[in-house]
């Protein structure tokens, strides 16, 4: 039956079976989509199904939906929409998602749908296709059924990709939409994903002396399934891995005392991992879109190799390959960071590697967009989320410009890197292969990698404030323009510390501001953090002072 609008009775009926947790609960679509306690999410997932179907009809493209809460505790869950090129949902549709999620009743919801169809000029009779996936959380099966109810109400084709990492779903969406074109990104199946990575990594690794085995903490999440599926395809002999924290069916284990976020924030290895000095270790997060590396030295001291260290390693290798391929001057390599990047990494990039660095506000969409302005754009957040983007012009030059055996070999390796790197989004497995490639080619130990530069000691402090909305920033969140006069006082304090740097930015989700401080010494960083946080708290704070300042 042809319809020019959604079936009102069906949508009302199904919406009633997936009620809002309360009429006053407010949902907001952020960088990670919607994310909260899983038992609050059912109405939102149903409505995201409606939205994703309309987005697909609007574009005439495949759209993705991922059910995950990444590094959050197991009792949380979330849902986000993946746009047609495997990127994050465009901002204007984030607002549409928030409107649908917050419609208080079935009448409001149906009106919001009609308004969306009208404002976006969507032909409801056009076809649509939505591919969806989910992680290992116990709440996923119910939410998948809920999502189906939303999609089915809008008459679109559905593809259940099953248990997948978040970056795998991003990959699938781009593959569906580029299949059969000159921009084909690969085969839109998980096998296609694994084979693409395996073929490229084999090209990069074959014939080179093996490094010692890498221990991979899979955060007791879906990443363990992904790596386990990948190993037999790539041939374990060229990528020796030891998988730990793979308890995907143990209730409460996901992200508990393990994973990239745990390692980054605690600055220690997960309990149960006995670190051997000089050996490499890495941790994924729960949906495998972040990775951090680490090792212990001979004295047992823990060393973190975070997103900043991965970005600098990748940039060094890419600049070297571009030079060997004879593309220096023709291909512009750049790195994108946020204000949270360690100052020592920025100095190493600009002073030692002589590579341009762009600083953007916090949020993957800002980094990704800025990276597109380079021929080869490297972006990583310090938390380990990031990737490398290659422009179409760069890809063309890599394939056609080699004029010598050395240049030909470098071009072959550059092309293989474009295949091993997931250019849609940060991907822990893909980024693992990138790091292992560089270490293999350079024959570097973790000591060598870490010695590139020494991180400046830093401290991140949360300060509760009466009203976070009075804080406004500029210069990629590095300077405060409101309240007036605060930036001047911050700069006066910072000037007293050698290699001092500090900034204040409001949280996007709670009534607090975050104070970042770094300096040449650990005491300097702590004293600077205390001084700036006290300055903010004394004038704008609420509640008890943070424990650090008592």
Run of H or E including 324: helix 307-324
Tell me the torsion sign for CA atoms 95, 122, 177, 137.
positive
Which residue is it, tokens 């700069």? 491
Cis amide linkage into residue 483, ω under 30° from 0 = yes
Q: 8 a known binding residue?
A: no
507 known ligand binder? yes
The CB density around residue 278, as the number of other CB atoms within 10 Å, is 13
Beta strands per DSSP E along 289-421: 291-296, 302-305, 333-338, 357-360, 376-380, 386-390
| Contact predicate 363/477, CB 8 Å | no
Is residue 120 part of an annotated ligand binding site? no
Per the annotation, the verdict on 70 as an active-site residue is yes
The CA–CA distances, whole Å, from 204 to 285, 385, 411, 446, 491 equal 26, 23, 11, 19, 47
The one catalytic residue in 15, 56, 70, 139 is 70
E strands, 94-209, are 129-134, 157-163
- Residue 290's Cβ-side half-sphere holds a number of Cα atoms within 13 Å equal to 27
Q: Where are the alpha helices (DSSP H) in 421-521?
A: 428-442, 446-450, 486-494
Maximum alpha-carbon separation in the chain:
73
Is 381 marked as a binding-site residue? yes
Please check if 180 is assigned to a binding site.
Answer: no
Residue 508 annotated as part of some ligand binding site: yes
133 appears as a binding residue in the annotation:
no
Neighbours of 118 (CB within 10 A): 10
Burial 120-139 (b: 16+ CB within 10 A, else e): eebebeeebbbbbbbbbbeb
Confirm whether residue 469 is marked as ligand binding: no
285 is in an annotated binding site: yes
Residue appearing with tokens 């009102």: 8
287 is in an annotated binding site: yes
Q: Scanning the structure block, which residue is given the tokens 């997060």?
A: 285
d(CA 547, CA 544): 8
Q: Is 383 labelled as part of a ligand binding site?
A: yes
Q: Coil, strand, or helix at residue 45?
A: helix
CA distances from residue 73 to 33, 250, 252, 264, 393 in whole angstroms, order as listed: 16, 13, 8, 16, 42
Give, for 281, the enclosing helix (H) or strand (E).
Answer: strand 281-284
Annotated binding-site ranges for substrate = 381-383, 505-509, 514
Annotated binding site: 70, 285, 287, 289, 381-383, 505-509, 514
Question: Which sequence positions are flagged as catalytic?
Answer: 70
């Amino acid at each position: 039956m042809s319809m020019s609008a959604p079936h009102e009775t069906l949508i009302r009926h199904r919406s009633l079976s997936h009620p809002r947790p309360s009429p006053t609960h407010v949902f907001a679509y952020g960088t990670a989509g919607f994310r909260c306690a899983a038992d609050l999410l059912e109405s939102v997932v149903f409505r995201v199904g409606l939205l994703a179907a309309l987005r697909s009809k609007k574009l005439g493209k495949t759209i993705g939906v991922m059910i995950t809460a990444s590094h959050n505790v197991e009792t949380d869950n979330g849902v986000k929409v993946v746009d047609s090129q495997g990127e994050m949902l465009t901002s204007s549709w984030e607002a549409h998602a928030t409107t649908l999620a917050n419609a208080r009743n079935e009448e409001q919801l149906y009106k919001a749908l009609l308004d969306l169809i009208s404002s976006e000029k969507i032909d409801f009779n056009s076809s649509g296709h939505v591919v969806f996936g989910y992680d290992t959380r116990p709440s996923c099966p119910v939410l998948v059924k809920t999502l189906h109810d939303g999609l089915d109400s809008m008459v679109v084709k559905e593809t259940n990709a099953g248990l997948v990492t978040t970056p795998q779903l991003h990959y699938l969406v781009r593959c569906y939409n580029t299949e059969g074109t000159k921009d084909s990104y690969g085969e839109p199946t998980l096998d296609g994903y694994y084979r693409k990575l395996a073929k490229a990594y084999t090209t990069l690794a074959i014939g080179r002396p093996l490094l010692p085995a890498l221990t991979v903490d899979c955060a007791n999440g879906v990443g363990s399934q992904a790596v386990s599926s990948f190993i037999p395809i790539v041939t374990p002999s060229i990528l020796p891995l030891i998988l730990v924290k793979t308890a995907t069916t143990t209730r409460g284990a996901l992200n508990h005392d393990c994973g990239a976020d745990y390692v980054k924030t605690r600055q220690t290895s997960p309990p149960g991992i006995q670190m051997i000095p000089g050996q490499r270790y890495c941790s994924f997060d729960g949906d495998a879109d972040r990775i951090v590396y680490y090792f212990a030295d001979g004295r047992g001291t823990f060393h973190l190799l975070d997103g900043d260290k991965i970005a600098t390693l990748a940039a060094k290798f890419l600049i070297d390959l571009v030079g060997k391929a004879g593309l220096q001057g023709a291909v512009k390599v750049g790195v994108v960071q946020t204000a949270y990047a360690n100052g020592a990494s920025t100095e190493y990039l600009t002073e030692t590697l002589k590579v341009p660095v762009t600083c953007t506000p916090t949020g993957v969409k800002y980094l990704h967009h800025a990276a597109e302005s380079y021929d080869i754009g490297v972006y990583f957040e310090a938390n380990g989320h990031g990737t490398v983007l290659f422009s179409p012009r760069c890809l063309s030059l890599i394939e056609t410009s080699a004029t010598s055996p050395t240049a030909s070999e470098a071009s072959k390796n550059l092309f293989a890197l474009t295949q091993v790197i997931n250019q849609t989004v940060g991907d822990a497995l893909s980024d693992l292969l990138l790091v292992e490639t560089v270490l293999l080619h350079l024959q570097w130990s973790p000591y060598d990698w870490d010695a590139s530069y020494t991180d400046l000691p830093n401290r991140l402090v949360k300060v509760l404030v009466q009203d976070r909305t009075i804080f406004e920033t500029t210069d990629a969140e590095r300077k405060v323009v409101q309240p007036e006069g605060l930036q001047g006082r911050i700069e006066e304090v910072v000037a007293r510390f050698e290699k001092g740097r500090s900034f204040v930015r409001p949280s996007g989700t709670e009534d607090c501001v975050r104070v970042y401080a770094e300096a040449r010494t650990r005491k300097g960083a702590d004293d600077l953090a205390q001084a700036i946080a006290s300055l903010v708290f004394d004038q704008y704070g609420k509640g008890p002072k943070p424990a650090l300042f008592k």
